[in-house]
Amino acid sequence: MKPMLDCDTVMRQLWAYLDQELTEDRMEAIREHLAVCARCFPQLEFERTFLEQLGKLRREHPNPQTLRTRLVAALAAEGFTAF
């Protein structure tokens, strides 16, 4: 059995994980870590929500300032308020 990845390693690779840019072995190792880590899981949820909202709002609001305002509001509506 392979040792579980540490939080710092997972955090450094989280964006690549969400973009599915890692090897399948690394994706699985991060997935296993996130399934049990109370420290990392909230960051995963934030980044996943951020990417979903950004993709959606980017199409609707091409102006950068409008996009930023809408993105912050959408994240706040999802319960993320520390930014």
Per residue in 37-57, pLDDT tens?
999 999 999 999 988 888 888
Answer yes or no: is 48 within a domain: yes
> What are the helix (H) ranges across 19-62?
24-36, 41-60
For residue 22, the SS3 value is: coil
Q: Could you tell me the pTM of the whole model? A: 0.71
Q: How far is CA 39 from CA 9, 31, 43, 45, 48, in A?
A: 13, 14, 8, 11, 15
Q: Which domain holds residue 25?
A: 7-77
Answer yes or no: is 83 within a domain: no
Answer yes or no: is 61 within a domain: yes
Answer yes or no: is 40 within a domain: yes
Answer yes or no: is 82 within a domain: no
Region 17-46: mean pLDDT is 95
Report whether pLDDT(83) > 60: no
Count of structural domains, the chain: 1
Answer yes or no: is 43 within a domain: yes
Answer yes or no: is 2 within a domain: no
